[in-house]
A = this chain, B = another copy of it.
Amino acid sequence: MAQGENGQMSADGMGPTTVVGMEDGALTPEILERIRTLPLFAGLDRTGLAGLLGGAELCSVERDAVMFRQGEPADRFYIVLSGRVVLLVMDNAARESVIEVVKPGDTFGEEAIFDHGLFPFGARVIEPARLVHVPAASFLASLATDFKFVMMMLASMSAHLRFLVRQVGELKLKTTEQRLGSYLLAQTLEGQASATVLLPYDKKILASQLGMTPESLSRALAKLRDVGVSSGNSSLTIADVARLRAFCRESDISE
């Protein structure tokens, strides 16, 4: 299990490497079991999962590795075992914007397989990760044989759609402070009176995800101090969740 970080953090730290596979290889039984516990694959029995992952490979990738770029052919998707990956869109002026941050247990890139076959966003690793690379072919074959898998897939895409609809609504209707507040509230569990949220990645990335600059994020955090959000180093404490909720609800996207 403690096998992750020993791939030599080798050589060229110069710029993002496009393809990195340090210890590619077949999947161990433990990993197969791990994947079986993920919601998306809950519908698959062991043989179904074996079919899906027949051509799959485990790969360990370092920080800043680019898994694919926007517009590339989508002949595969990924399951995240550990680490984090950002999905982002770019304009041709090389500015980029984070759409989503993918965490262990999530998958990414699978939607593109059904569409016109090109990734609508790029993917870059922001925290050393172990990923399972699944070829599109076996994925499609699995869908054909297992209707429960189909339903899980539809549910997953549907949840994604909801996520994006919400994001669009927030970008259009809420201020920077409210968007930050909403993000924090989303990290808390249901029915907590107060909570401590730890930021799992750089504020720079969070800022991009929330559609603002790092400077604005910093100032937004300062403003939230007025409603009882104290900002530790990389963890924030919400003194009064209800109060923060009220603050955001001044213009909230009612679920």
Q: Which residues of A contact B (CB under 8 A)?
A: 70-71, 89-93, 95, 97, 99, 111-116, 118, 120-121, 143-144, 147, 150-151, 153-155, 157-162, 164-169, 171-174, 208, 211, 249-255
Contact = CB atoms under 8 A, between A and B. Distances in A.
Contact of A92 (B70, B89, B121, B249): B249
A45 to B, nearest CB: 18
A151 B141 CA distance: 12
Contact of A161 (B120, B169, B253): B120
A171 B171 contact: yes
Given A97-B169, A99-B169, A169-B97, A115 B251 contact: no
Number of copies: 2
17 contacts: A89-B169, A90-B253, A91-B173, A91-B251, A92-B249, A92-B252, A93-B251, A112-B162, A114-B155, A118-B255, A144-B147, A150-B150, A164-B164, A164-B167, A164-B168, A171-B172, A172-B211
B115 A158 contact: yes
A215 to B, nearest CB: 15
B89 A158 contact: no
Given A71-B254, A92-B254, A167 B166 contact: no
A196 B155 CA distance: 40
B155 A115 contact: yes
A114 B158 contact: yes
A151 B254 contact: no
A166 B120 contact: yes
- Residue of A120, A208, A253 most packed against chain B (CB within 10 A): A120
Give 4 nearest A-B pairs by CB, closest first.
Answer: A89-B169, A115-B158, A164-B164, A114-B158
Contact of A111 (B121, B144, B161): B161
Nearest to A211: B172
Nearest to A97: B172
A71 B99 CA distance: 24
